[in-house]
Amino acid sequence: MPKQFWKGSALLAPVPAALVTCGTIDSPNVLTIGWTGIVCTRPPMTYISVRPERYSHDIIKSSGEFVINLTTSTMCRETDFCGVKSGKDINKIEKCGFHLSPAEKVGVPMIDECPVSLECKVTESKLLGSHTMFLAEIVGIDVDEKYIDSKGKLNLQQCGLMAYAHGEYFALGRKLGDFGWSVRKKKKHPKK
């Protein structure tokens, strides 16, 4: 069946529905970010794209730091709220009932209710049109211990992470495989 052609748009999905914290523990702010991802493994690099008119934009630009907090499906209402309300008008952290903790490597707090928080230091910012892209090194990751198994591995499936696609939020489903499973050789069982 042929595909229908549409003009270019931001149609790559799903993406994380992340809560990005900025500011300080004494004067924090949070905003919802969908435009984020990994850009490099070594060093670990990420980005967020923020509209210049957003309250958090100048906070991140001046501090050079932020924390990407991954959200769960139980946080859907709060995540949406933080994307439509401005921190210059309301204390979104207080309104949503979030609890904050200091990060290890940056001066920005992280959200305790989020299972994973990525501490980031901006290395470059670039205005791309409607958004400024803040390219950043991930200098630390904070993981809720209840999602770490006995072998020290993060069990993301238990986190109940949330994704965003085309204006809608989705709960991530079950694990389908892991990297390289399609070509991995099967272990031979010894003959008895």
**Contact 164/76 with Cβ under 8 angstroms?**
no
Q: How far is CA 80 from CA 73, 169, 174, 184, in A?
A: 11, 9, 23, 40
Residue 141 lies in a domain: yes
Q: What is the pLDDT of residue 192?
A: 65
Q: What is the pLDDT of residue 118?
A: 98
Euclidean distance between CA atoms 70 and 15, whole angstroms: 11
Q: What is the pLDDT of residue 126?
A: 98
In this structure, what DSSP letter does residue 154 have?
B
Rg of the chain over CA atoms, in angstroms? 19
Residue 176 lies in a domain: no
Residue 191 lies in a domain: no
Residue 67 lies in a domain: yes
Task: Write out the residue range of the structural domain in which residue 115 sits.
Answer: 15-171
pLDDT tens over the chain, length 192 residues: 899 988 998 888 899 999 999 999 999 999 999 999 999 999 999 999 999 999 999 999 999 999 999 999 999 999 999 999 999 999 999 999 999 999 999 999 999 999 999 999 999 999 999 999 999 999 999 999 999 999 999 988 889 999 999 899 999 887 788 888 888 877 776 666
Euclidean distance between CA atoms 154 and 170, whole angstroms: 21
| Direct distance between the N- and C-terminal alpha carbons of the chain, in angstroms, rounded to an integer | 52
Euclidean distance between CA atoms 113 and 89, whole angstroms: 23
Total domains in the chain come to: 1
**Contact 149/53 with Cβ under 8 angstroms?**
no
CATH number at residue 81: 2.30.110.10
Q: Which residues contact 99 (CB under 8 A, 6 or more apart)?
A: 111, 112, 113
In this structure, what DSSP letter does residue 190 have?
P
